[in-house]
A and B are shown apart, each in its own frame.
Chain A
Amino acid sequence: MSTLKVELLYERSNAEKEGYTLPYTEIEEDYVMDTIPKQWQRDKIGLPSVTETEVARHFYNLALLNYGVENGMYPLGSCTMKYNPKMNEEIASLNGFQKVHPLQMDDTLAGNLFLMYDLEDMLCAINGMDAFTLAPAAGAHGEYVGMSIIRAYFKDRGESNTRTKILIPESAHGTNPASAISAGFSVVEIKSTKTGEVDMDSLKANLTPEVAGIMLTNPNTAGMFEKNIKEIADLLHRNGSLLYYDGANLNAIIGYARPGDMGFDVVHLNLHKTFSTPHGGGGPGSGPVGVKERLIPYLPNPRVILNEVNKHNEEVEDRLIRKDDFKKSIGRIRLTDSSFGVLVKTYAYLLTLGENNIKNVAVNSVLNANYVRVMLKDDLKCYIDGICMHECVLSAKPLEKYGITALDIAKRLMDYGYHPPTNYFPLIIPEALMIEPTETESKEDLDKFIETMKIIVQEAKDNPKLLKDAPTKTPIRRTNDVKAAKDLNVAWK
């Protein structure tokens, strides 16, 4: 990797330089002075002026300072950093998908509406749900929408004042409680067992008539399957409450089992995790939400549906419309209908996989995680005994006596050319290193990773300074985060 020498484009700006010329026009009149009051006009915008060559070089060199999935293994637990197939981007960039406006008449959008309709069907089949909204812009947006659907359901039943609480295990992702609050609920934290599963006694003790639902990740954030899921679902349903599935870990079971069959009433997916669309350095994501039949009326507006009026048309494409006035709907949740570009990539991915390969995603992701676990469990500590699912949690606790933490291991891995695993999560495991290889890693690459981890553990014992000083081979070294927050500098002046 290159080393960093910060230079912003501002620093090479010169008013004479230009990187763009406007298209031709035959409209030569200048209306600006006559139509826009002078006092409403600005003098300076504050953008740099550089040439296209300089822009290209600047960003290419910045890209060299980054680490992506092509650089090497990216075993970030809970993030599912699988390979992003190249064809997906090419397809999403087709003229026919790029140069269409969301406010065109429905009969000029047959291709897009069909894609959404068919993708919704596929996601229903994969998850065992009855309908999906493809609107949510990311996982947390999906959680907010799912929670709002639950709220609307109880409101419709006249229970909105009494169903006020959402149960969330202490091992859950931080977005879960934040989303439940966004949707107007209060949060009751329930205890987790040492394997991150729901503590049944804590669940029963908190299962009051005020409980609207429970948010669960399954497999849970420690990578273990919630064995009591049937009992949990029965308990909640008997209490009149609903089950919400956080799809962050769907990769472990995709094609093998379905959240809908386990009793979940609402699920959200992360297309940028399980369905191979790129993370892009932090989005755009897409977080479709699936529901069981009784919750369909509450899905956000608009929805793509078959038009009853011309239902006798032969082609499905000619019968699809967007309906945006469902009375019981939670309403509109974003400016446009969906992050359509992300949906195109997901659709292309699912067509490529097909029904006969989809299970292999789950099988190989679980196989890879368990292989890493057994190969490293004697070097680090495995608090959770037994077979895990698509990710394994190891602990750096045994290295405490050498003064070494999970963070030190993570940073040293960078020197060996790896992106580190998630660390200090889940919170229930001390010095956690959470490793999710995904199905797109090979045994050869896992063996190299395992060997590197063993070398680092040995280094921790023989020469802990190597880890404490790490990384040294990256463009920069460990950062001063206190200074960043204290001497806040978030824009160039």
Chain B
Amino acid sequence: MRFIPNTLEDREKMFQKIGVSTVEELFSCIPEEFVLKEPPCIGEEMPEANVMEYLAGLSEQNVTFSDATSFIGEIAWHHYVPSIVRATMSLPSFYTAYTPYQPELSQGTLEAVYEFQSYMASITGMDASNASLYDGASAAAEAMIMLCVGKKKLKAAISSLLHPYVKEVLYTYAGPRKISIVEIRSSEGSLDEENLDENLDSDVGCVIVQSPNAFGIIEDMENIQRISQEKKVSTVAVVLEPTSLGILKPPGDYGFDVVCGEAQSFGMYPQFGGPGLGFICVTKKLIRKIPGRIVGRTEDIDGNDCFVMTLRAREQDIRRDKATSNICTNNALCALQATVYLSTIGEKGLRELAKRNINHANFAFNELNDVQGINIPYKKPFFNEFLVTFDKPIEEIQKALMDKNILISKNDFGRYYPFLKNACVLCFTEMVSKEDILNLKEALKEALQ
């Protein structure tokens, strides 16, 4: 076995020192009735070359972005990932290191996390970021718990235009914490501000809105913040496509208390959904309540500048049942990918990329807008995706497009929003060309005839 170095001779010598003579004796503390008589049935061992061949074969059974053009976004985005990202995250001492509890041996991870926190705080317009969370939906759930349970205001007002999956996760997490959820209606594709105002009272721990929202539309964050502030309710902005913040004014600038979400767009391919990268950024006031790990700058005993994990007293290994969250292992390597990605594309790159996404999506919007059988129900500012409805059953459209090597989302939004039927969100990043968009148009025309 190529990962187990002890030889039989080594084993004998070690047995002697330990004072046992058989494996059974070494495991004598396990009651006989539990000792497996047959090995678990997982197949014969395979040499590396054969594992490679077999798994490459399996991976080729998937239809990938190389086989077909994808216009799917919603929860994961196809952006180009520069080679330097994988090259850096694969450096063994980043890749295999443990959580940086021993700062003397972990300054590489710690400084990279500090840079990650700095970038995310800047991008979202907030004072501080943690070192990462699991993903965008669980990040929203952590924000809800922090604000509702923390302040003992067990009601959360959430936008009905959070992505349906984010909503489902919030319901999953709210139940056991006894948080009741009230959904704020939408109006013409964005949050209904009147309905928001009506639903905010002193029991509400937080308002949670997503922008760009589930339909791709950019919310009026200024109004949402103003209405919430008047009712003294804390605000959470969920951002699942942070590339949008290359051009959009960040929620922090409007006065939001928390900005959280998913940062898979920063240096990771969709990878069938994971691992992605959850993030949470807060104002100075909330920094001691934030879930997960935080890296801070300090000095060593010789006065040298360095980094450590800080505010540790919030965490589960110290506070146990009083901890603000149970999170332990998070997504550090993904945060490193994001840090390398953001360092590489830089200030100008992120801005240009955001513009490029807006241009591609608007070009597509104009092309699809006049196709017979396609309706674009809401015509409001959007980033790189928008909602369309079809005059034919969506299953037929999905199938017809697949025959032309075009992938669209399996999610029929009619399932989640009763006022929609045969609805789907289409996404246009820098990775789709003019030709791809025109092909989509032709394929849709044909399918809708």
Contact = CB atoms under 8 A, between A and B. Distances in A.
Contacts of A442: 5-6, 10
B326 A111 contact: no
Contacts of B417: none
B3 A85 contact: yes
Interface stretch (A12-20, A200-208, A452-460): A12-20
Interface stretch (B80-88, B152-160, B182-190, B370-378): B80-88
A83 interface: yes
B325 interface: yes
A432 to B, nearest CB: 14
Interface string B158-184: 000001011011011001111000000
Nearest to A355: B39
A491 B325 contact: no
A309 interface: no
A31 to B, nearest CB: 4
Contacts of B54: 351
A405 interface: no
B418 interface: no
Interface stretch (B70-78, B192-200, B226-234): B70-78
Contacts of A410: 102
Contacts of B95: 68, 84, 89, 278, 280
Interface string A448-474: 000000000000000000000001001
Contacts of A371: 14, 17-18
Given A66-B109, A182-B326, A104 B11 contact: no
Contact of B138 (A279, A331, A334): A334
Given A47-B122, A334-B138, A347-B55, A15 B98 contact: no
Contacts of B132: 282-283
A281 interface: yes
A474 B107 CA distance: 10
Contacts of A101: 65, 70, 72, 76, 78, 270, 272-273, 407
B63 A414 contact: no
B330 interface: yes
B443 interface: no
Contacts of A31: 358-359, 362-363
Contacts of B44: 354-356
Given A31-B362, A125-B40, A483-B299, A138 B328 contact: yes
Chain A CB within 10 Å, residue with most, of B31, B46, B91, B134: B134
Given A47-B123, A137-B275, A144-B326, A367 B6 contact: yes
Nearest to A16: B348
Interface string A84-95: 110101110111
A65 B91 CA distance: 12
Nearest to A446: B14
A481 B132 CA distance: 21
Contacts of A10: 115, 118
Contact of B381 (A35, A333, A492): A35
Given A27-B363, A140-B316, A282-B329, A180 B321 contact: yes
B352 A111 contact: no
B115 A17 contact: no
Contact of A20 (B68, B250, B273, B344): B344
A37 interface: yes
B363 A337 contact: no
A62 B28 CA distance: 46
Given A84-B95, A91-B55, A420 B123 contact: no
A251 interface: no
B410 A104 contact: yes
Nearest to A362: B27
B271 A138 contact: no
Interface string A274-295: 0010111111111000000000
A282 B330 contact: yes
Interface in A213-236: 224-225, 227, 229-230
B290 to A, nearest CB: 10
Contacts of A17: 346
Interface string B1-35: 11111100011011101111001001111110111
A384 B95 CA distance: 35
B201 interface: no
B97 A68 contact: yes
B449 interface: no
B256 to A, nearest CB: 14
Contacts of B176: 148, 151, 182-185
Contacts of B326: 140, 143-144, 175, 178-179, 181-182
Chain B CB within 10 Å, residue with most, of A24, A27, A35, A492: A27
Interface stretch (A237-245, A255-263, A396-404): A255-263
B51 A490 contact: no
A491 B330 CA distance: 19
Interface string A355-379: 1111111111011101100110000
Contact of B333 (A60, A280, A439): A280
Chain A CB within 10 Å, residue with most, of B30, B74, B114, B287: B30
A272 interface: yes
Nearest to B129: A491
Contact of B272 (A300, A340, A478): A340
A278 B272 contact: no
A162 interface: no
B334 interface: yes
B346 A18 contact: yes
Contact of A25 (B70, B323, B430): B430
B317 interface: yes
Nearest to B262: A335
Contacts of A180: 321
A321 to B, nearest CB: 11
Interface string B333-359: 110100010111111111111011011
A215 to B, nearest CB: 12
B4 A94 contact: no
A471 B107 CA distance: 14
B169 to A, nearest CB: 5
A305 interface: no
A193 interface: no
Contacts of A125: 40-42
Interface in B401-444: 402, 407, 409-411, 430-431, 433-435, 437
A184 B334 CA distance: 30
A126 B4 contact: no
Contacts of B96: 68-70, 81, 84, 278-280
Given A96-B59, A331-B169, A371-B17, A253 B4 contact: no
Given A42-B249, A55-B340, A81-B98, A363 B23 contact: yes
A334 B271 contact: no
Nearest to A325: B415
A163 interface: no
Contact of A367 (B19, B26, B29, B307): B26
Interface string B107-139: 111011111011101110001110110111110
A85 B27 CA distance: 27
Given A99-B64, A352-B48, A490 B115 contact: no
A79 B102 CA distance: 14
B99 A348 contact: no
B84 A52 contact: yes
Chain B CB within 10 Å, residue with most, of A6, A64, A347: A6
Given A99-B65, A151-B176, 7 more contacts: A6-B306, A47-B346, A50-B343, A89-B90, A174-B323, A178-B325, A355-B42
Enumerate the 8 nearest inter-chain pairs by beta-carbon distance, A residue then B residue, closest first: A336-B273, A96-B59, A354-B45, A280-B333, A184-B176, A46-B122, A102-B273, A282-B332
25 contacts: A19-B345, A20-B344, A29-B363, A44-B347, A55-B88, A55-B344, A60-B88, A69-B92, A96-B62, A100-B271, A137-B134, A138-B330, A178-B319, A181-B323, A256-B36, A281-B333, A284-B333, A330-B172, A336-B273, A354-B43, A355-B39, A363-B26, A374-B18, A479-B104, A490-B296
